Structure 1
Amino acid sequence: MGGKKGRTDRVLILRICRKGVALRYLDGKRLQKAVNAGWHWLNQNREGLNAINVFPVADGDTGSNMSQTLRSAALGANSAKSNSLADVADSIAIYSLRGAQGNSGVILSQYFKGVAEYIGNRKRLYVEDIAGTFAAGADSAYRSVKEPREGTILTVLREIAEHAEEIKGKRKSISQMIESAIERGKQTLANTKHKLKALSDADVVDAGGLGFVHFMEGIHYLIKKGEFEKDESLESFEQNLPERIEKYTRYRYCSEFLVKGWDYDVDAIRRNLENSGDSLIVAGTAFGQDSYLRIHIHTDHPDDVEALARSIGVLEKRKVEDMMAQNEAMRSWRARYRQTVPKTIRIVTDSTCDLPPEIAAFHDIEIVPLKVAFGSETYRDGVDLDSYSFYEKLSDQSNALPKTSQPSPSEFKERYAEMLERGDCHQILSLHLSSMLSGTINSATSGAKGQKVVCFDSGTVSLGLGLMAIAASEMAREGKSLKDIIACLEERKKDQGLYFTLGTLEYLIKGGRVGKARGYLGRLLGLKPILALQNGEVLPVARVRSQEAALEKIISYLPGDGYGYRWAVGHTKCPQQIELITEILRERFGAIDVLAGEIGPTVGTHIGPGALGIFFMKG
């Protein structure tokens, strides 16, 4: 939503029913608007959900995962081939599975699958049908999980369904049914902390269950008020940030795989994986010619699970996250942000920041993706194409060399308009990669015209841009004015840097982002270059004969008074030295939090595999 499209969506939502008129049925159009409203309400509460996410692992991403899944569901509702109830429900089920994120997201997608199967060829859902939809959704969600745990979102889904069956025939409108379901959901939530030790220890309710209640609250608010917008008078289930964070899985990697065109027995796949880890969910959805299977598992051997996924169909998406690193990051950041004030300024950046999704979500940073094209196939950086898939394609000699393109002014305009219309901020600060490397900031500036948006040239790229976006978000949280934030960032631009080396010169030279380094690089004859990014431009610094020598040389260039700096380490498909570099930064430069990660598709297009860099910024 945003710009003209956003205003159209608001008019549609406004007309779901006249204010004060009892809603007695749902058809395809009304279901579409209901899912959009539910997503928006949950999205406004996603940071609170992230904060109380402690089970099965405290990685602080349940709110972001559920928001992404519901965003996909809403996109499915809006993209259905017709406005019939069946087509809208089927499209919601397919899109939500394709876009599902995390444990809670996959469970939610299977809830929608059950609802779609219950709807079948119905043209309308009447009051007496609501209990059946709740029951079908809950049953489908339970069946997708290998070992259902009570005290989670599953318990909330089941008890809401049981309550709906109890009151069927006693409520005269859909609004009354949903209102009663929300109240039962809150009662169930209050008891979840007594069902799971992780929740009891942290003194919080289940984040996934609370997310579903938020989803229902959004739908109820839409029906009751006739228009969806943020309303502080709508009661929401408040939770405090947990004092303790523990991990409740013995496995390291949260792994997800989306397979297209599968034709295997789901139970057989589940049995094949049951000894490979925990939190196993195998979920399949097939409507018409579309069939997708999503595997979610916490495991120590994601490559083995991936091999299985590839053997049963076309692997469309892959995500592997290090939960140990996420858990440690959440400990640090939660402690730092325990005392915050509401933000009136939101931070936007572009996908060249290479921030891991969970870090961007925690800091409430909005990311607009650039695009990467392999021949005629175009992907949105970080949305349709993750780093792993990108480097796989890059290594395939049959693929054309990729090309990158910036978002259009209209894409920025729509994103800004959507954020401002939601009412959760009054101003936007949009930070982008160096104007010496890309015209992205020009596009953002054009899209910002006429809106309360200020665009800022970071003078850097990749995780350097990520560090600056995090710093801006921190200042916004502290209540600083937009003028003060920009003044601080201008100072930090003067004392930031990047030193990096490359595994190959091919991509940097062909990409044309080398500036004064072009002639220098052409004379290297097998030597490894040390390059720097200064004032937004790539400059040659030195040349060495080995990767070890390159790392030593880079470290020698880092600011000697490294205390008081922020640090990040980025790589392109060469993570072997990340742990060593992080330890060096902590021991020799006093680094506390080191942001580490793989450099994404847009920047990776221009530097290729084997690159390693250290980013720093004062303050």
Structure 2
Amino acid sequence: MISIAYLDGRRLSRAVIAGAYFVSERAEPLNKINVFPVPDGDTGSNLAATLQKIAAGIARLRERHVRRMCQALADEALGGARGNSGAILAQFFSGLCEGLPDRPRVSTRDFGAAALSAAESAYHAIARPVEGTILTVIRDWARRVSERARDVPDFAEILPDSLKEAKRSLENTPKQMKALQKAGVVDAGAQGFVYLLEGIVRYVRDAARRSLPPVPPEEVRAAVFDRTPESILFRFCTEALLEGDSIDRDALRREAALTGDSVVIAGGATRVRVHVHTNEPEKLFETLARFGEIAQTKIEDMRSQHETRFDRNRAERVGIVTDSTCDLPAAMFEELNIGMVPVRVLFGSENYLDKVTLTPAEFYARFAVTDVAPKTSQPPPADFTQVYRFVSGHHGSIVSIHLSKALSGTYQAAVVGARPIENTAFEHVNSRNASVGLGLVVRAAAEAAASGRPFAEVVGIARNAADRVKVFIAMPTLKHVVRGGRVPRGKGMLAKLLGILPVLAITPKGTAEPVARARGFDGALRKMMRLLEEAARAGDGKGSRFGVAHSDAAELAERLSREIRDRHPESDVMICECGPALGAHGGPGAVAVAVLP
């Protein structure tokens, strides 16, 4: 293992991203052991979502100043924190930032002092701290880091050693909390923090390698506890992001504690994340409004979550999974409970997870300033297994719908990834499509599943939609497809010389082929819209669904959607941004239109 004498912004960023990914792979095992503060089975999901938001936010930064990077990390954590453990983690990072000296690099001693600050800050975020939780493990880990940092100047030695102390503290949590001892598990939030440290240590140990070897999540025994929803005293997990000037966190904590329990107040004087379990969310929001402006809210019914987790209807529910080449509005993935497996995006030797550690906006910003042609690769089967394992915990069957087999090996990776999953029926659907066309197919299947349609019907709806959907694509230039090797350089030069651009379509076989040519981008757009109109006429003219996807071209997408609405006022038109996996080939300015007649 290499020696690490200092920590700067880039090293901090890479380590946290590695840790975040390690936790995300283990979300479902954490959900299984979720007992405290309520057994609603979402600690793993919440920690993973919080850390993915952090990773996505800092992945695009090139900040080498460690405190400034840590501040960015803390800001992302505060804005994206979910659940009790997510809010505590946000305050941990905030305290870590406050404890770091204002220098580009820090030593192990500096980091040890900051770790103690982070632990103290995490404790202060809680109205009624409880031992045997993530707080205890954070404190024990921080003390060990600080103790070793007095004599050891090497992060590569301190981090593995302090991980051992964190694991020892974790194993002790059932002795500190009767609920854990009775359930036969360790604390889920504390285990999540240990996973974060483990991912970081693994990254440090394997930093010399270009890619990290996969470590499959270990099998865990589910917690044993009272499975009646009525055992949950406060029904709603309620969160808010509060903004203002000089927010009095102590007064806010006292007021919030009057409305429920599991109160976490994370953040600083101008921005605060509030987490409370309560029976009166609106009353809580009224209280918060007296302290500042409410910028964000979230309410989850924990009794409903509990019922969903343990009810006897699992076998009847159908889960939907796709890959990140599926372009849909971001909110729709959550509304329709669609599982998504990210494709890999590579800028040289840097590896990102599409729409997870690299958002579309970040991708196009990076695309604009680099000469390196971005590339994509299919997810490994293990990534599908991870998502399938989570979805199968709540659904007896899964319909997995993916990018055309003719364009990628993603479909086959999904088939292989399903093999380790037991007691779950699977159907894999080759959409023979991509981007917003795949999105329309997935949306149709997800809506059918959400309405309670049986497995066979959902499969039929997905296959029928895949047969009918039509997609057309136009690009303002061929230079990106030439640079990526999709079009021979000679053909690209000739097209540029003549000012000719193609309109592409996804064929019934699932390949992308030119179906029209035009002079200039405006001409290509006109031909694309004529082809879309012809495809729409194949339906009954009513109730057709349309989609417009764009690569960093929001104004153009809005213009095209207005044109569609003018011609089809009774139809549904959705707009979304193409993810990095497809934006890498079409480049900025490309648009795709689709119709499901």
> Do the two structures share a fold, i.e. TM-score over 0.5?
yes
* Structure 2 equivalent of residue 474 of structure 1: none
> How far apart in 1 are the matches of 2:298 and 2:107?
39
Question: Which residue identity does 2:383 align to in structure 1?
Answer: D
Question: Which residue identity does 2:35 align to in structure 1?
Answer: V
Contact 2:123 2:135 in 1 (8 A): yes
DSSP 3-state at the match of 1:257: strand
Deviations 1:452-510 (A, max 9, x none): 24436358366325479996xxxxxxxxxxxxx9x982388789xxxxxxxxxxxxxxx
Match 1:258 to one of 202, 218, 241: 241
Q: Aligned pair 1:60/2:41, yes or no?
A: yes
Q: Aligned pair 1:325/2:312, yes or no?
A: no
> How far apart in 1 are the matches of 2:454 and 2:3?
46
* Structure 1 equivalent of residue 268 of structure 2: 285
| Pair 237,306 (structure 1): closer, same or farther in 2 beyond 3 Å | same
Contact 1:264 1:312 in 2 (8 A): yes
The number of aligned residues is: 413
* Structure 2 equivalent of residue 78 of structure 1: 59
Match 1:146 to one of 105, 122, 127: 127
> How far apart in 2 are the matches of 1:143 and 1:328?
33
* Structure 1 equivalent of residue 100 of structure 2: 119
DSSP 3-state at the match of 2:383: coil
* Structure 2 equivalent of residue 273 of structure 1: 256
| Pair 319,109 (structure 1): closer, same or farther in 2 beyond 3 Å | same
* Structure 1 equivalent of residue 444 of structure 2: 460
* Structure 1 equivalent of residue 88 of structure 2: 107
Contact 1:354 1:463 in 2 (8 A): no
Question: Which residue identity does 2:240 align to in structure 1?
Answer: F
> How far apart in 2 are the matches of 1:353 and 1:463?
15
Structure 2's unaligned 5+ residue stretches are 344-354, 356-362, 368-372, 389-399, 412-429, 432-437, 466-535, 547-570, 576-597
> How far apart in 2 are the matches of 1:120 and 1:470?
58
> How far apart in 1 are the matches of 2:59 and 2:462?
43
> How far apart in 2 are the matches of 1:33 and 1:191?
30
Question: Which residue identity does 1:306 align to in structure 2?
Answer: F
DSSP 3-state at the match of 1:280: strand
* Structure 2 equivalent of residue 599 of structure 1: none
Question: Which residue identity does 2:271 align to in structure 1?
Answer: Y
* Structure 2 equivalent of residue 490 of structure 1: 460
> How far apart in 1 are the matches of 2:16 and 2:453?
31
TM-score, L = length of structure 1: 0.57
| Pair 125,537 (structure 1): closer, same or farther in 2 beyond 3 Å | closer
TM-score, L = length of structure 2: 0.59
Aligned pairs (5 A) from 1:599-614: none
Contact 2:132 2:187 in 1 (8 A): yes
Question: Which residue identity does 2:254 align to in structure 1?
Answer: R
The alpha carbon displacement at 1:88 in A equals 0.4
* Structure 2 equivalent of residue 299 of structure 1: 278
Question: Which residue identity does 1:452 align to in structure 2?
Answer: T
> How far apart in 1 are the matches of 2:261 and 2:443?
44
Aligned pairs (5 A) from 1:151-550: 151-226=132-207, 227=209, 231=213, 239-246=220-227, 249-285=232-268, 291-332=270-311, 360=337, 365-366=340-341, 420=379, 423-425=382-384, 449-453=407-411, 454-455=430-431, 457=441, 460=444, 463-466=447-450, 489-490=459-460
The alpha carbon displacement at 1:304 in A equals 1.2
Question: Which residue identity does 1:490 align to in structure 2?
Answer: G
Question: Which residue identity does 1:425 align to in structure 2?
Answer: F
> How far apart in 1 are the matches of 2:210 and 2:134?
25
| Pair 58,26 (structure 1): closer, same or farther in 2 beyond 3 Å | same
Question: Which residue identity does 2:98 align to in structure 1?
Answer: E
The alpha carbon displacement at 1:326 in A equals 0.4
> How far apart in 1 are the matches of 2:14 and 2:274?
29
> How far apart in 2 are the matches of 1:53 and 1:228?
35
> How far apart in 1 are the matches of 2:334 and 2:243?
24
| Pair 459,148 (structure 1): closer, same or farther in 2 beyond 3 Å | closer
> How far apart in 1 are the matches of 2:185 and 2:336?
22
Question: Which residue identity does 1:297 align to in structure 2?
Answer: V
DSSP 3-state at the match of 2:384: coil
Question: Which residue identity does 1:250 align to in structure 2?
Answer: L
> How far apart in 2 are the matches of 1:293 and 1:84?
24
> How far apart in 2 are the matches of 1:277 and 1:604?
42
| Pair 312,415 (structure 1): closer, same or farther in 2 beyond 3 Å | farther
DSSP 3-state at the match of 1:317: strand
Q: CA RMSD in A?
A: 4.6
> How far apart in 1 are the matches of 2:158 and 2:56?
26
> How far apart in 2 are the matches of 1:206 and 1:128?
29
Contact 1:192 1:206 in 2 (8 A): yes
> How far apart in 2 are the matches of 1:59 and 1:284?
25
* Structure 2 equivalent of residue 87 of structure 1: 68
| Pair 207,415 (structure 1): closer, same or farther in 2 beyond 3 Å | farther
* Comparing 418-427 and 116-125, the one that deviates more: 418-427
Contact 1:254 1:296 in 2 (8 A): yes
Structure 1's unaligned 5+ residue stretches are 1-19, 338-342, 369-380, 382-406, 430-440, 472-484, 496-511, 519-532, 539-601, 607-619
Deviations 1:104-135 (A, max 9, x none): 11100100001101113022222233322321
DSSP 3-state at the match of 2:199: helix
Deviations 1:269-288 (A, max 9, x none): 111121100001112236xx
* Structure 2 equivalent of residue 436 of structure 1: none
DSSP 3-state at the match of 2:379: helix
Contact 1:145 1:281 in 2 (8 A): yes
Contact 1:278 1:298 in 2 (8 A): yes
> How far apart in 2 are the matches of 1:232 and 1:488?
33
> How far apart in 1 are the matches of 2:12 and 2:335?
30
> How far apart in 1 are the matches of 2:403 and 2:271?
39
Deviations 1:218-269 (A, max 9, x none): 11111111147564568x7753122435466411100001123343211111
| Pair 313,422 (structure 1): closer, same or farther in 2 beyond 3 Å | farther
> How far apart in 2 are the matches of 1:469 and 1:193?
42
> How far apart in 1 are the matches of 2:291 and 2:387?
45
> How far apart in 2 are the matches of 1:102 and 1:195?
22
DSSP 3-state at the match of 1:254: strand
Question: Which residue identity does 2:145 align to in structure 1?
Answer: A
| Pair 211,147 (structure 1): closer, same or farther in 2 beyond 3 Å | same
The alpha carbon displacement at 1:177 in A equals 1.1
Question: Which residue identity does 2:237 align to in structure 1?
Answer: C
